[in-house]
Structure 1
Amino acid sequence: MSEDIIIGRNPIKEALEAGREMNKLLILQDSKDRHLQKIIDMAKAKKLPIQFVDRKKLDKVADGGVHQGVIAYVAAYAYVEKETIIEAAAAKKEPPLIIICDEINDPHNLGSILRTANAVGAHGVIIPKRRSVALSQTVAKTSCGAIEYVPVCRVANIAQTIDWLKAQGVWIAGTDMAGDLYYKANLKGSLAIVVGNEGVGMSRLVKEKCDFVIRIPMMGEVSSLNASVATGVILYEVLKQRHDV
């Protein structure tokens, strides 16, 4: 059984009451069990993603454990509030440097992004609660320890979070092949870099919220880079511009 899950009604209910960080819940579909309904109500109150699945799926995930119709995926590490990231930059007397992952689904990509974020001195990473990979042991392993040092904030709405960041004086740079060359953009000052989904890029609304959009030139036959590789290229340009390295 994976160390990233909790199974059974009572353990999950207790974890919810204790405020344990959870990524999502799997709950038996069409169940009339009142204990499961209590857990559903608690999860909804905390705005946790809920996925209703059949018993076969639950049995497979539980891997022989007694799940009682409910499984919770828990975070490998605790998330922080978005204010914490801004405060971390202020404590270092540095302009904020933030990476916003817009529906990144590959845990290896997120782990690599965390590793690069730490290498360049970024102050935090923001991910959405839905349609996105969450902090897991795979993410932690791929980050090679960076998950211990890079604050990760998990938000319900990326577009609204961008509006909040703008109110804090942070400029938002999206990444898209229709943008301007990244090394010609001014990447100094308070900045958040938005990295889109591996397949479709940034969502339309998030793209519209960006102050400007940048791109990495592609000279070969492939049309895009891996999300974590592209993030690394741009973050090192930020480092170069900020510190003249």
Structure 2
Amino acid sequence: MTRSFYRAFEDRHRGSRELIIERLKQYAPFLESIMAVISEPRALDLGCGRGEWLEYLGTLGIGARGVDLDRGMLAACKERGLAVRLQDGLHALQECADECLSLVTAFHVVEHIGFEELHRWTEEVLRVLQPGGLLIYETPNPENIVLGSSNFYLDPTHQRPLPPALLEFLVEYVGFARWRIARLQEDPKLQEEPSPSLLQVLSGISPDYAVIAQKEAPATVMSVFDEAFTQRWGLTLEELASRYDQSLRNLLERAPRKSRVMKKDRSEDGD
């Protein structure tokens, strides 16, 4: 596969820079917490792609650099004056000193690498993060049935979907102090939809999710992040499927009563 093909593929299916940056703003509560406890936060973005995340961090005053193996993507970053380098994620992490970073991120990258490499990444991230620092891995959500069974494989470089419970266990096993799964990008109207359709159950729940993990730090530091870690994030398959089941039960419970009324009316007409 040529680099030009993949960049064209990304441009077609990932969305505009403006759209991606707008989506990335959902992480603002975590970034605000970092800036509240670390005077000069520094970030490393693994697989930085077109650099939307680096651009967003720059607007907040967070010093950020990125690495990627796609020269075409890096060229797009350099055109915008972003600090990027041709390098793979593991080597970039291994070059970092202990506890030198406030934030390490990878957006739609972990599904492109093998799990053994991802495990090594995560161990290195824990080493290089400052106390209270954050790891964010964002990836397609296979709990979305249509995405997990079909749309995920549209990208020819994807290896396999990663269930949320797997990444959750990985950060716990490696030694992060706390973590949460944030389900992302679902239609906001579905949050309160009492009677979802079958198609909405199959394809409507959060198409992306992130595992957000924090390195141990004194309680005074950890408490600053409490609100960000406890806010509501996304919609699960169980939630939407339960609403669908309940709407069907309600429909079936109403149907016999309607049938009895119609029979009674016909009987009275006959009299």
Instruction: Provide the TM-score with structure 2 as the length reference.
Output: 0.29
More strand by share: 1
Instruction: Provide the TM-score with structure 1 as the length reference.
Output: 0.32
Q: Which of the pair has the greater relative contact order for Cα pairs under 8 Å at 6+ separation?
A: 1
More helix by share: 2
